[in-house]
């Protein structure tokens, strides 16, 4: 089985209706390829983006994803959005456990695991984010940190359900800083993650898509995507510019 090649755009709390329109216009000539392209805007623009992708006949090329979700399916949870709501909007992917959700909103790995479970149960595809801080890397804790973020998810859903999970390794020190990991460094860590999964299931490890997230841009994407265990990217700032994002998507076609 060939692993899915995925390029996902995380707009974070950026953008407006004008960005939605300019992105659709800028990507209008994209052709179908082996790359799954996902755009994750803020909640208010999910429906608008999805509708305009379909109107532009790009829905066989571009999918829409959410930046987070509640573990609850409904109820008294002011400000939250459920998987039921995302399904109602035909959303396919959900980013779970982004480092900003962990550090700013204090989401624990156990809470992240519960969200992954909820996303899978709703028939959606989770993009599970993991990664170490600069201090943790300096202290030689990379492997223990990644294990502490992955193991609760394995405990929650079981290894076989990881077949429907996408993992994005995002070194926290490289997110939005311009300090992307070298291709060799990123490959070394992706290899470790795949071997970590392989200890539970070699088949799941061989098939799971591992993305790199951390200042991916038009200049470094080709070298990053050439690495054997990197199956695409989770793109932040560069995904707010249609031309840069197209270059990144094109670089992934070579996988």
Average pLDDT over residues 20-33: 94
Residue 176 labeled ligand binder: yes
Q: CA 94 → CA 67, 117, 154, 180, 227, distances in Å?
A: 6, 12, 18, 23, 25
Pairing of strands 93-96, 5-10: unpaired
Per-residue pLDDT, 173: 81
d(CA 250, CA 5): 11
Clarify whether 117 is annotated catalytic: no
| 169-178: pLDDT as tens digits | 999 887 777 7
Q: CA 169 → CA 30, 142, 149, 174, 217, distances in Å?
A: 26, 11, 11, 11, 16
* Eight-state DSSP code of residue 78: T
d(CA 246, CA 74): 37
The helix-helix angle for 242-252 and 17-26 (nearest 10°) equals: 50
Q: Which domain holds residue 185?
A: 5-252
d(CA 41, CA 47): 10
Per-residue pLDDT, 32: 86
User: Residue 6: which pLDDT band, with cuts at 50, 70 and 90?
Assistant: very high
Specify the length of the chain in residues.
Answer: 255
Does residue 214 have a pLDDT over 90?
no
Per the structure, the count of domains in the chain is 1
Does residue 75 have a pLDDT over 90?
yes
Beta strands in the chain (DSSP E): 5-10, 35-40, 62-66, 93-96, 125-130, 166-169, 210-212, 232-235
Clarify whether 188 is annotated catalytic: no
d(CA 220, CA 58): 26
From 100, 107, 132, 170, the catalytic residue:
170
Per-residue pLDDT, 252: 96
Residue 50 labeled ligand binder: no
Average pLDDT over residues 199-206: 97
| 137-168: pLDDT as tens digits | 989 999 999 999 999 999 999 999 999 999 99
Does residue 101 have a pLDDT over 90?
yes
> Which domain CATH number covers 162?
3.20.20.70
110: how many CB neighbours lie within 10 A of its CB?
11
Residue 255 labeled ligand binder: no
Return mean pLDDT, the chain.
95
Residue 178 labeled ligand binder: no
Percent residues over pLDDT 70 in the chain? 99
| 78-100: pLDDT as tens digits | 999 999 999 999 999 999 999 99
Pairing of strands 62-66, 93-96: parallel
Does residue 1 have a pLDDT over 70?
no
From 36, 98, 107, 190, the catalytic residue:
98
d(CA 161, CA 60): 25
Average pLDDT over residues 205-225: 95
Tokens of 147: 């294990």
Residue 12 labeled ligand binder: yes
Residue 233 bridge partners (DSSP) = 7, 212
């Amino acid at each position: 089985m060939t692993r899915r090649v995925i390029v996902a755009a995380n707009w974070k709390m950026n953008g407006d209706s004008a960005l939605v329109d300019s992105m659709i216009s800028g990507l209008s000539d994209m052709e179908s390829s082996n790359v799954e392209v996902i755009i994750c805007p803020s909640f208010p623009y999910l429906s608008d983006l999805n509708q305009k992708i379909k109107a532009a006949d790009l829905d066989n090329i571009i999918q829409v994803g959410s930046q987070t979700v509640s573990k609850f399916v409904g109820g008294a949870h002011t400000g939250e959005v459920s998987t039921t709501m995302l399904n109602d909007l035909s959303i396919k992917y959900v980013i779970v456990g982004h480092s900003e959700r962990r550090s700013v909103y204090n989401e624990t790995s156990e809470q992240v695991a519960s969200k992954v479970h909820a996303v899978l149960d709703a028939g959606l595809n989770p993009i599970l984010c993991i990664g170490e801080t600069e201090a943790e890397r300096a202290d030689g804790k990379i492997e223990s940190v990644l294990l502490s973020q992955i193991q609760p998810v394995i405990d929650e859903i079981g290894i076989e359900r990881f077949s429907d999970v996408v993992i994005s390794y995002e070194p926290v020190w490289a997110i939005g800083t311009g300090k992307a990991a070298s291709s060799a460094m990123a490959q070394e860590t992706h290899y470790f993650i795949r071997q970590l999964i392989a200890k539970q299931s070699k088949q799941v490890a061989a098939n799971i898509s591992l993305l790199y997230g951390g200042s991916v841009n038009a200049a470094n994407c080709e070298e990053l995507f050439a690495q054997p265990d990197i199956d695409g990217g989770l793109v932040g700032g560069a995904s707010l510019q249609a031309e840069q994002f197209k270059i990144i998507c094109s670089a992934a076609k070579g996988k």
